[in-house]
Structure 1
């Protein structure tokens, strides 16, 4: 796949009615499934964290009401422009789920949300409870990435990779997620399989949240670890893997220290990397 073809594939994927997903977890002591306490209660995110990629400022929307409203408007505008229902109609995200935004000035131009497994489960449980429960019953800690929206005028591979890195840090390095699920439009499944290493595990169904077809895809920790180790940070990597735009593990761990604390963060300086 040449550069122009890959850009078209990424653009199609970012226009899917469900989010880009990755971030399996670690092999180190995964937390038990279906914890009664939401895992986000154990950590606090630095509200002043910033990651600069390709001229975009990547930020955490949690705790910033203006940015949360901005991302909500972006999602509604992008989904409505494709004739889809307002995303999540009648199903709001848990306030402790984590939303990342890519910003130009004060405007969000792209966003992704990480849904961690709480007592009520994942949004994808609506259609694919049996498939997700199979991972839980194996001792897995599951999550899903959802609510992808990107303004087509700001279709930056680097910004998208930066948002994906932040969610990877939160899900895998911080909460030790072992299994990540996504619902995507069937015609976009090939992108996730070829460039991100996902496997299809759930049949096509109609997603009631957006009124469009969906399939369930899954990525396990072992596969993601291999892809990161093989491709991340390699300027000479001419593969199609999206992970070549990731930073190496040591750099990701440094970002985690800037992003996450085990207690509420006070008087934290602005972090710009």
Structure 2
């Protein structure tokens, strides 16, 4: 059986993590695939003020990525495949139904929980790229959706090029408004091919895509994910 946790990639990013004293430190970052269930993800979300059950309330096919800095979990993100239930369809049933009706294979991304001290675009680009590989390549999804608070939507639209799919509605699970965002595999592929692995383009392309890995690196990352 596969290990419960495995390192997908290890990054060094000197000077991009601020210590409690406000001094730049050199840290080692690992992005790991967690198969321990939802325990670690739930603890990370709780520490950031999220309700895990409200965010991903159905026990299904989910891959959890964990950002570790010097051995300490500092962030999480999750991707889960549509098994006939998506949390988003509680408030956006017609939009999810429309995707299914055209034959889409849908993945749902959980909200990002990241320590605010982690300010590295390289790290954020890396974890989002691995999430993209998990969804679009390992799971062979054609479409990725996420529910976010309207205040956070500009971040996802600017930095990851999500498109608005569903209008603002009240999310009863958390008692706060939400919007439904979407990105297709085709759009993600085109952005990675155009900008991936080229941080020198970040002055013009102000998203995380220049901080994604180079497209040629994806095969090795896909093998490490070992998501069957």
TM-score, normalization: structure 2?
Answer: 0.83
Q: Does 1:74 align with 2:44?
A: yes
Partner residue of 1:114?
79
- The match for 2:127 among 143, 146, 163 is 163
Cα distance change of structure 1 residues 91 and 224 upon mapping to structure 2, 3 Å threshold: closer
Q: Does 1:99 align with 2:64?
A: yes
> Which portions of structure 1, spanning 4 or more consecutive aligned residues, are displaced by more than 4 angstroms?
43-46
For the aligned residue pairs, the C-alpha RMSD in angstroms reads 2.4
Partner residue of 1:59?
32
Q: Distance in 2 between matches of 1:204 and 1:45?
A: 40
What is the CA deviation profile of residues 195-222 of structure 1, one whole-angstrom value per residue up to 9, with x for unaligned ones?
2221111111111222211000111122
Cα distance change of structure 1 residues 140 and 45 upon mapping to structure 2, 3 Å threshold: farther
TM-score, normalization: structure 1?
Answer: 0.70
Q: How many residues align?
A: 211
Cα distance change of structure 1 residues 173 and 133 upon mapping to structure 2, 3 Å threshold: same
Q: Does 1:200 align with 2:170?
A: no
Query: Are the equivalent residues in 1 in contact too, given 2:55–2:110 (CA < 8 A)?
Result: no
Q: Distance in 1 between matches of 2:39 and 2:52?
A: 14
What is the CA deviation profile of residues 120-176 of structure 1, one whole-angstrom value per residue up to 9, with x for unaligned ones?
x11111111110111111111011101421122234322222221221121111121
Q: Which has the higher strand share?
A: 2
Q: Distance in 1 between matches of 2:62 and 2:165?
A: 24
SS at match of 1:124: helix
Partner residue of 1:39?
none
Cα deviation, residue 90, structure 1: 9.6
Query: Are the equivalent residues in 2 in contact too, given 1:179–1:218 (CA < 8 A)?
Result: yes
Cα distance change of structure 1 residues 156 and 94 upon mapping to structure 2, 3 Å threshold: farther
Cα distance change of structure 1 residues 212 and 155 upon mapping to structure 2, 3 Å threshold: farther
What is the CA deviation profile of residues 50-88 of structure 1, one whole-angstrom value per residue up to 9, with x for unaligned ones?
41123211111213x6xx5343222112126xxxxx242
SS at match of 2:110: strand
Cα distance change of structure 1 residues 261 and 50 upon mapping to structure 2, 3 Å threshold: closer
Q: Distance in 2 between matches of 1:240 and 1:152?
A: 20
Provide structure 1 residue ranges, at least 5 long, that are not aligned to the other structure. 1-42, 81-85, 263-273
SS at match of 2:66: strand
Q: Distance in 2 between matches of 1:117 and 1:51?
A: 26
Q: Does 1:251 align with 2:217?
A: yes
- The match for 1:232 among 193, 196, 199 is 196
Partner residue of 2:21?
none
Q: Which structure carries more relative contact order (alpha carbon 8 Å, separation 6+)?
A: 1
Query: Are the equivalent residues in 1 in contact too, given 2:104–2:143 (CA < 8 A)?
Result: yes
